[in-house]
Amino acid sequence: MTRIGIILGSTRPGRKSEDVAKWVLDAASQRDDAEFELVDLRDYPLPFFDEEISPAWKPSENEQVTAWSEKIASLDGFVFVTPEYNHSTSAVLKNAIDYLFAEWNNKAAAFVGYGGVGGSRAVEHLRLIAAELEIATVRHQVALSLMNDFANFTELTPSQYQVQNLGKALDGVVAWSKALEPLRAEVLAA
């Protein structure tokens, strides 16, 4: 069965990513074409990236990074739930991404952003990062506005439009994760 990780892109107290990720998981759990699980960066407290050699050339020997590596390697695709901080994604998510390379390759990703303009600029940055890591990104994304999709800027109340976008994003990430399976198998066989 195809396995998709829903990655919570914030570790801050009072973060919105937990509510958003649970909303994604609730919708994903209605499907029978893949298994979905939450991947909370709070469960993988990584130090600030300070490796001497790029993970593209040599995996980290740090125990915390090894646990993170094993989790990401076990997944076939991802839904990144990202806030927008200063027109980009969060530092904690970027740091977690930077610690790995091969574990991301030949997998698919969808994006659910949130913020003043729906996290769109954060998602655009993540799309560029994903391209370098050989992650295929799907077209449809969810852009949750703090003004329109959160009551009083706190309680998640997504519109039907956002629910539909989420369905299309999940369709895409499952389809692309399955389509890329032969490439992942080829790498494992090598």
Q: Report pLDDT digits (tens) over 135-161.
A: 999 999 999 999 999 999 889 999 999
> In angstroms, how far apart are the furthest CA atoms of the chain?
53
Q: Which distant-in-sequence residues (6+ apart) come within 8 Å of 93 by Cβ?
A: 7, 9, 10, 41, 80, 82, 126
Q: For the segment 62-114, what is each residue's pLDDT rounded down to a tens digit? A: 889 999 999 999 999 999 999 999 999 999 999 999 999 999 999 999 999 99
- For the chain, the structural domain boundaries read 3-189
Is the Cβ–Cβ distance between 15 and 87 less than 8 Å? no
Residue-level pLDDT at 188: 72
pTM greater than 0.85: yes
Identify the CATH homologous superfamily for domain 3-189: Flavodoxin domain (3.40.50.360)
Summarize the confidence of residues 160-166 as an average pLDDT. 97
